[in-house]
Amino acid sequence: MKRGLAAGDALPSRCHRKRVLTADAPGQGQGPQPAAAASHSRRRALTAAGAHASLNSRLQSKPVKHSADLDEVGGASQDGRKSDGSSESSSRVPAHVGPTKTRRLEKGANLDPKRGATHLEKKSVTPKVMDDYRRRVKLALSFAKRRRLPARSGTDVDQLLTHFMTVKYRDGEHSSYGVKLLAAWMAIYPEFGKYGAAHLPRTGRALKGWRRLVPGRTRKPYRFPIVAALVTALIYLGELEVGLWVLVAFGFYLRPCECLRIQPEDLIAPVVGISSHWGLLIAPEERGVCTKVGAYDDSLVWDAPYLSFMNGVFEVLSTRPREKLLWALDYPHVLKAIKQASKLISVDIVPYHMRHSGPSWERLKGVRTLQQIQKRGRWASTKSLVRYEKHGRLAMQMTEHSEARQRWLLDCGLHVGEYVLGSKVVAWPPPP
C-alpha cells in the first residue's frame, strides 16, 4: 500500500522519481522488454550491487563519536581506541539533542571551535579568549576522567560541571571562574548554548549559589590594625591557622585560591649572600596549575618590616610534610571562621579583602612604590591595580569606631606578632 511522504522523509531523487512513474504508467511492465530496456535493467543491477557493498562497508566501520561523548582531550584516538589500548563504544546523545546539534570529537580537533564554523561564528570570540576557553574545558574534562564521571549525555555533562564548580569553590576560586567555565563550555560545545537543544539546569543553579556565597570582588580595603584585630579574634576562637592564612594572604597580596594551594616546598628560606628574607613561589610550572592570568613560577619576597615576626612562623610551616598542602583548610572553613571573627570585632570582612587591603595599606604607609605594588600583586596594567589599591579610603575607617575601640585596634596592630607567637595572651573582649 502506497503512502505519502511523512515529516522527516528524504525527497526521492530525480532518477528514482522517473523509475517510479515509468513503473506505474498504464501498460508498462508487461510483455517482453526491448534491448535498450534490458541494458538499462543490467546497469540497475550493477548499481544495486555496488550500493550493497558500500552499505556493508559503512556498517562495518566504527561509529562516529558525537559531542555527547565528551572524553578527555587526547584520551581517544581517531580509530575509536583510548590511549591505553582499550576500545570504547560510541553512545548516542539523548533524545532532546538532535543530530544537527552535535559534532564529532576527534583527537587534536575535538576542541577546535573553527571546525565546521562559518566566518561569523569564528569572529564571535577572539583567538586569545578561545585559547583560554580550551584550557578551561580541558581542566573540566581532566577532572571528569580523574573522578570517573561519565559525560555521554546532557544530564551527565550537567552533573560533571556542577561537581567541578563545587570543587573549585572549595579551592577558593571566585564565582567568576564558574562564569568563564560555563561560557567556555558553551563556546566549545554550542549545543549547550542559549540556542542549543541541550540544557544545564543544575550548573546554572550551582553558579547562582556560588555567586551568593562569594559576591563580587569590588571590596573596600582595611587598615592593618583592623586586619590584626581580625587575627586576634581568630586566635581567641582557637583558629590560629586561619589567622596565619590571613596574614600570609595580606602580606603577599594573594587571591584566596592561591593562598590555599601553597605547599611547604613553595616557601623559600633565606640564603646567605642572596637574600635575607623568606620568599614564596606561586604556581610552580611542574604542577601544571597556573594563576588566574595563566602565569607560572611567580616569586615574591616577605620583606615588610611590620610583618617580620612571620619569619619564625615560616620556619615552622616549612617543616610540614612536603608535596602536601601547607594548610589543613578549605575555603568554606576559612570563610566561616573569618565571618565569626569579623562579627566579634563588628567589621564585615571576607577572605578576598586581603587582596585589596595589603597593597592599599603599604601604599598609604609608603612601604612600596606604586610600581613595586603592581609587580608584587602581578597586575598587568595600572588600570587593574587601581581597582585594588585604594589607600584613600583607609583614612576614614578609624573614625567609624569609638576612641576606646580605636586604641584597641592600634594595640592589636602593635602586638599581633606576640599574639601569634604566644608570648602575649589575647585580652578579650574588646571595648565597645
Q: Say if CB 259 and CB 341 are below 8 A apart.
A: no
- Give residue-wise pLDDT tens across range 300-320: 999 999 999 999 999 999 999
d(CA 216, CA 213): 10
What mean pLDDT do residues 219-235 have? Answer: 92
The mean pLDDT value of the chain amounts to 77
The architecture (CATH level 2) of 224-421 comes to: Orthogonal Bundle (1.10)
Residue 271 is classified by DSSP as B
pTM over 0.75: no
Q: How many CB atoms lie within 10 A of CB 240?
A: 15
Q: What is the pLDDT of residue 302?
A: 96
d(CA 224, CA 38): 99
| All cell numbers assigned to 57 | 562497508
Here the contacts of 217-220 (C-beta below 8 Å, separation 24 or greater) are 217/174, 217/176, 217/352, 218/387, 219/350, 219/352, 219/353, 219/355, 219/356, 220/356, 220/390, 220/393
With a cut of 80, say whether residue 37 has pLDDT above it: no
Q: What is the pLDDT of residue 76?
A: 40
Q: Would you give the end-to-end CA distance of the chain in angstroms?
A: 93
With a cut of 90, say whether residue 409 has pLDDT above it: yes
Higher pLDDT, 300 or 107: 300
Q: What is the pLDDT of residue 293?
A: 77
- Grid cell 561519565 — which residue? 150
Q: What is the pLDDT of residue 158?
A: 93
Q: What is the pLDDT of residue 84?
A: 44
Confidence category of residue 416, pLDDT binned at 50, 70, 90: very high
Q: Say if CB 405 and CB 232 are below 8 A apart.
A: no
Maximum Cα–Cα distance across the chain: 118
Q: Is 289 exposed, middle or buried (0-12, 13-18, 19+ CB in 10 A)?
A: middle
Residue 187, helix vs strand vs coil: helix
Closest to 329 measured CA to CA, from 236, 268, 256, 278: 256
Full DSSP string of 362-397: HHHTTSS-HHHHHHHHT-SSHHHHHTT--GGGTTTT
With a cut of 80, say whether residue 296 has pLDDT above it: yes
Q: What is the pLDDT of residue 67?
A: 39
At 82, phi and psi to the nearest 5?
A: -75, 165
High-pLDDT (> 70) share of the chain, % = 70
